[in-house]
Structure 1
């Protein structure tokens, strides 16, 4: 009974060691004695998600991630067509397309090793593509032509590739597979899904110079505006001063005219009065002269008694007249 129980446990253990489960989003590479197990066509065996069996102790399944990966690249300096420096920050979406190639190229499916190789090729390709464009084309790339060209170049191995290396071509009615471009990601078993540029900046020294020039231009415009405002203010003040002086001059002219008309009217009245009774007018003027002359007791007037000034004092008959 005890031996049967031990035998059952051993069998269950062997069965458990023989079962390997490949999860969704993973692929498995069968290894036998540390070497990749191949099929009749000398292709590595790749196991899809599900339950698979192996020989315990002899075989092992290496699990590889089949999901889309994101590689965030560090911002780097690139030179444009017009020899301008740009700091470009980008990232890549990629996944494994050929698990056998990927396993062999990366030394056992190491993602970090794959990203090192991918980053090197991506940097070279992006540098080449940016070197063909100027800053305006890069900044205004609304249709994503730059990133699309970089992605296609990575997948095909050349930006001028006219055909997909995965496509079969016809030669004498026989289908012949085109050789894999060793510069492409296919040689690593990787397919680049998407390339995106997160941010484009100018180098610090360039941006500081640009900001300084912008500030100088704005200050120049501000000085010009202030000078124009001061000029217009001076014109307005001059026009206001002219209007004030013109109004004052016109008022003084009207004053003089009115005063002259009043003096003329007064002279005319005196003349009319004098023409009607010259003696009375002379007598009245003499009285006014006496009043003005003798208004103060301290006044001393030295005149000849024979002067005409005292004629109304000497002849009372003239008063009666």
Structure 2
């Protein structure tokens, strides 16, 4: 009875070993290479196929290498770049990539760490080559999309035979190294101050021109206004003289009498003893004599 139990136990253990060595699972996010004595004999769930699930292999003779099928990411930091304007930048970038040919990938790298090392080297070289052809302003705020496209194409070309496809390359950050940032800032500050002074000088010059033009126009307008005023006043005086002459010609005696009264009024100051007036005013003579006699100083 005890021997039978030991037999059942041994058969169970052997069965579990066989199960674990015969069956394997490939997830939806994975792809597998079946190796027989180190030589690839089958690809499971490679890109473009849906073969995820439970699979079988020959125990001991065959082995299975699981490879990621998802999009992978790689951060690359601290890339020193010498731009076309001879200024240095420190660039941080990231790469999105995937394994498009698992067999080529396995034969070339075997492990993901080796693939990342190669990807890091080729991407760093491509970034330095592409960004080194343009000045810093183009890298920081210029045609960055076109530059990233050139970098992606260059990296893809460098990994064409390695079974890797580059989905995207992006510059996450581009900064001046600390040792030169202060000098660049001071140069930029000086340039901006010079630009501000130039704009201020141009503004003052334009202001002087505007004031001079306004003053000249003011002088012209005032002269035209005085000329117009004198012309209108002369026309008014001429019209008044014409009116007086016309009125006088209608009744000369009445107007002589009126002018005498006006002269008397202008010549006499009330309350004075001395009266200054014309020697003979005709109709006003009697009035003037009476005023001279009646004048009492106050």
TM over 0.5: yes
Shift of 1:119: 0.9
- Which of 97, 101, 109 is 1:102 aligned to? 109
- Which of 210, 217, 223 is 1:239 aligned to? 217
- Measure, in 1, the Cα distance between the counterparts of 2:264 and 2:188: 95
Name 2:95's counterpart in structure 1.
91
Q: Judging changes above 3 Å, is the alpha-carbon distance between structure 1 residues 20 and 193 closer, same or farther for their aligned structure 2 residues?
A: farther
Q: Deviations over 1:172-209 (max 9, x none)?
A: xxxxxxxxxxxxxx5xx553434523457463735785
Give the alignment's Cα RMSD to 1 decimal: 4.6
Q: What SS does structure 1 have at the residue aligned with 2:57?
A: strand
Q: What SS does structure 2 have at the residue aligned with 1:150?
A: helix
Once the two structures are superposed, the pairs formed by residues 53-72 of structure 1 within 5 Å of their partners are: 53-55=58-60, 61=64, 63-72=66-75
TM-score (norm 2): 0.61
Whether the 8 Å contact between 1:150 and 1:195 is mirrored in structure 2 is: no
Q: What SS does structure 2 have at the residue aligned with 1:254?
A: helix
Once the two structures are superposed, the pairs formed by residues 138-153 of structure 1 within 5 Å of their partners are: 140=143, 142=146, 144-152=149-157
- Which of 253, 259, 270 is 2:237 aligned to? 259
Shift of 1:21: 0.9
Gaps of 5+ in 2: 46-54, 287-298
Stretch deviating more after TM superposition (207-216 or 193-202): 207-216
Name 1:121's counterpart in structure 2.
122
Once the two structures are superposed, the pairs formed by residues 160-175 of structure 1 within 5 Å of their partners are: none
Q: What SS does structure 2 have at the residue aligned with 1:98?
A: helix
Q: Judging changes above 3 Å, is the alpha-carbon distance between structure 1 residues 4 and 199 closer, same or farther for their aligned structure 2 residues?
A: closer
Q: Deviations over 1:125-153 (max 9, x none)?
A: 4323444x33499754749344313321x
| 1:300 counterpart = 2:278 | no
- Measure, in 2, the Cα distance between the counterparts of 1:17 and 1:289: 145
- Measure, in 2, the Cα distance between the counterparts of 1:212 and 1:294: 84
Shift of 1:93: 1.4
Name 1:161's counterpart in structure 2.
none
Gaps of 5+ in 1: 31-35, 104-108, 157-185, 314-321
- Measure, in 1, the Cα distance between the counterparts of 2:17 and 2:238: 139
Aligned length: 256
Whether the 8 Å contact between 1:27 and 1:99 is mirrored in structure 2 is: no
| 1:27 counterpart = 2:32 | yes
Stretch deviating more after TM superposition (284-293 or 116-125): 284-293
Name 1:51's counterpart in structure 2.
56
Name 2:14's counterpart in structure 1.
11
Whether the 8 Å contact between 2:95 and 2:166 is mirrored in structure 1 is: no
- Measure, in 2, the Cα distance between the counterparts of 1:291 and 1:262: 22
Q: Judging changes above 3 Å, is the alpha-carbon distance between structure 1 residues 266 and 119 closer, same or farther for their aligned structure 2 residues?
A: same
- Measure, in 2, the Cα distance between the counterparts of 1:193 and 1:302: 120
